Amino acid sequence: MIGSTKVQARNGGFVSDVFAISRRALRSVLRDPESVIPGFIIPLFFFAVNTGALQNFVEASGDFDYKAFQLPVAIIMAVTGPLSRALTLVEDVRSGYFDRLMMTPVRRLALLLGLMVADIALVLALTVPVLVLGYAVGVRFETGLTGIVVFVALAAYWGLGFAGFSYAIALKTANAAAVSSSFMIFLPLMFLTPMFIPLEAMSGWMATVAQYNPVTYLLGSLRSIILVGWEIDEILKGVLSVSAVVAVSLTMALLALTRRVSRQ
């Protein structure tokens, strides 16, 4: 009688697996908003402090919109850092829930991709307050609405690439403290760049380091989209350098996933 419905267990299908996993991750975020509130506040804080402290000083050196110059910094801060679902992954491994998923026919790659899809959704949400604040203080995109879309997409692409490192660490170590320390990668990547002043104005060792930092070119692309217009080669430089980071971090994450699910 009850329960005698024909139940035919089978593989759920890759796309279905990915969305099932990401839905769970996003639900957890909504129920635990404290974990993402800093992610909303920190970029706004930096934007206010950086422009408040340096605007007059930098703008005195020439024709310059420092607020527009700083908006990409805020966006990168919003999409990078402690926001990936890697900590969820650590909790799952620790609690045994990861094993439970492993005993289902779920595609192993979906366990990682599902979380990344959730990350992208979250990252897009995090760019909204920064864009709104930018608009409120008078920042306008030279490239118009399409420019805003490309701007956000490029930032999200970077966010995903950075998240790859935290997933690699999470899958390799299953240790929350180790995952949090991925913040240590973020500091040099973010600060050893023309974050405060243009690259041409930088000097000494920091200028040298910044030339080899992929975030420098990401910043270059984002600034060009706001301040200049469609400079294809500037944008391409950003896309390529972010792609290099994505390639490295996702390879590391995939290797760590393969090891984690290897049944050894």
| List of residues contacting other proteins (CB under 8 A) | 2-3, 5-13, 16-17, 20-21, 23-24, 27-28, 31-32, 92, 95-97, 99-106, 263-264
Q: Is the Cβ of residue 24 or residue 172 nearer to other proteins in the bound state?
A: 24
Q: How far is the CB of 162 from other proteins (least distance, A)?
A: 24
Q: How far is the CB of 98 from other proteins (least distance, A)?
A: 8
Q: Is the Cβ of residue 35 or residue 55 nearer to other proteins in the bound state?
A: 35
Q: How far is the CB of 15 from other proteins (least distance, A)?
A: 11
Q: How far is the CB of 31 from other proteins (least distance, A)?
A: 5
132 in Cβ contact with 43 (< 8 Å): no
Rounded CA-CA distance 188/97 in Å is: 35
Q: For the chain, how many helices (H) and strands (E)?
A: 12, 0
Q: Which residues contact 89 (CB under 8 A, 6 or more apart)?
A: 98, 115, 167, 170, 171
CA distances to 17, 54, 68, 124, 225 from 136, in Å: 40, 19, 12, 19, 18
User: How many other C-beta atoms lie within 10 A of the C-beta of residue 9?
Assistant: 7
Could you give the count of Cα atoms lying within 13 Å of 251 in the half-sphere of its Cβ? 6
Q: Can you tell me which residue has the tokens 């799952």?
A: 92
Rounded CA-CA distance 166/83 in Å is: 10
Q: How far is the CB of 116 from other proteins (least distance, A)?
A: 17
Q: Is the Cβ of residue 61 or residue 95 nearer to other proteins in the bound state?
A: 95
Of 158, 170, 168, 165, the C-alpha closest to 243 is: 158
Q: How far is the CB of 124 from other proteins (least distance, A)?
A: 22
Q: Is the Cβ of residue 105 or residue 138 nearer to other proteins in the bound state?
A: 105
| Terminal alpha carbon distance of the chain | 42
Q: How far is the CB of 16 from other proteins (least distance, A)?
A: 6
Rounded CA-CA distance 235/216 in Å is: 12
Q: Could you tell me how many residues make up the chain?
A: 264
Q: Is the Cβ of residue 28 or residue 243 nearer to other proteins in the bound state?
A: 28
Element of type H or E holding 214: helix 214-223
Q: Is the Cβ of residue 9 or residue 136 nearer to other proteins in the bound state?
A: 9
Q: Is the Cβ of residue 176 or residue 197 nearer to other proteins in the bound state?
A: 176
